[in-house]
Amino acid sequence: MQIDGQTAIVTGGGSGLGAATAARLAQAGARVAVLDINIEGAKATAAGFGGLAVACDVADAVSAERALAEVGAALGPARVLINCAGIGPAKRIVGRDGPQPLADYERVIRINLIGTFNMLRLAAAAMQTLEPIDGERGVIVNTASVAAFDGQIGQAAYASSKGGVAALTLPAARELAQFGIRVVAIAPGIFATPMLRALPQAAQDSLGASVPFPARLGDPAEYAALALHIVQNGYLNGETIRIDGALRMAPR
């Protein structure tokens, strides 16, 4: 799909991978809506390219519906959705204080997996009514993680949420194929997001050195470039693509 002139939505666009992706899509000519529960972060990102900032809790049906309606009214119907919203707290299943509180696990699943599905279902419902362009009506890119395949100790909630995102990709792509909507997931490795940049430099260097090649943290711009390529490459569908420098996570 040619992105120039099309409306694109990026969730979690207030920082990190989402912010980089929103900027890259805008550079390619898209009308970009930046959705984030942190509206100030969304505004900061959108201000960099004249985009639209919208407050949205991706895991809440009403909030997501309102956000999509606002985007449609301001920018026109979206043909591209990039799901970057997510959280990644680390906690053991059984720690010194006993079993992990169920509410902690539920929160991660709700934001990362249910939030992704919520945005996917709403965007797809709107996309299927659009006129095809070169046979396509829309493209949805979800964010999984290498933790979906080799999650570490302390990542049970995060890994299972991202494993769910990866498992969602193929059945969603198969179901939405009849409407000309593609669904692809990206599974990033260790990227230089604000969460990792908050670590001491020595810790960042150690993490980067664990990557086979290139031995460094991923640049959010590299994730953004892959997301844009997926949108533009019409034969990519139903796949979860790792972008990790050949990293395979150790148990801890």
| pLDDT for res 199 | 72
**pLDDT band per the 50, 70, 90 thresholds, residue 197:** confident
The enclosing H or E element of 55 equals strand 52-55
What's the pLDDT tens digit per position in 17-60?
Answer: 999 999 999 999 999 999 999 999 999 999 999 999 999 999 99
**pLDDT band per the 50, 70, 90 thresholds, residue 200:** confident
Angstrom CA distances, 9 to 28, 30, 158, 195, 217, stand at 14, 10, 24, 23, 26
Q: Any catalytic annotation for residue 235?
A: no
CATH of domain 7-243: 3.40.50.720
Q: What phi, psi does 122 have (nearest 5°)? A: -70, -45
| pLDDT for res 125 | 98
| pLDDT for res 203 | 78
| pLDDT for res 34 | 98
**pLDDT band per the 50, 70, 90 thresholds, residue 230:** very high
Flag whether pLDDT at 223 surpasses 90: yes
Asked whether the CA dihedral 195, 197, 200, 206 is positive or negative, the reply is positive
Mean pLDDT of the chain: 96
Pinpoint the alpha helices (H) of the chain.
Answer: 16-27, 39-47, 61-75, 102-109, 115-127, 147-150, 156-176, 194-197, 201-209, 220-232
Contact of 45 with 25, CB cutoff 8 Å: no
Angstrom CA distances, 2 to 5, 13, 136, 164, 241, stand at 8, 21, 10, 29, 21
- Tell me which of 225 and 90 has the higher pLDDT: 225
* Distance of alpha carbon 72 from alpha carbon 7, whole angstroms: 9
**pLDDT band per the 50, 70, 90 thresholds, residue 101:** very high
| pLDDT for res 182 | 98
What's the pLDDT tens digit per position in 141-187?
Answer: 999 999 999 999 999 999 999 999 999 999 999 999 999 999 999 99
Flag whether pLDDT at 139 surpasses 80: yes
Angstrom CA distances, 230 to 105, 127, 244, stand at 31, 17, 17
Closest CA to 7 of 159, 104, 115, 133: 133
Question: What is the residue whose two structure tokens read 């490795």?
Answer: 189
Flag whether pLDDT at 195 surpasses 80: no
> Between the CA atoms of 31, 168, 66 and 46, what dihedral angle is there, to the nearest 10 degrees?
-30
At residue 82's C-alpha, the angle toward residues 226 and 150, to 5°, is 65
| pLDDT for res 213 | 96
pTM, two decimals, is 0.95
Q: What phi, psi does 34 have (nearest 5°)? A: -100, 115
Contact of 137 with 179, CB cutoff 8 Å: yes
Boundaries of every domain in the chain: 7-243
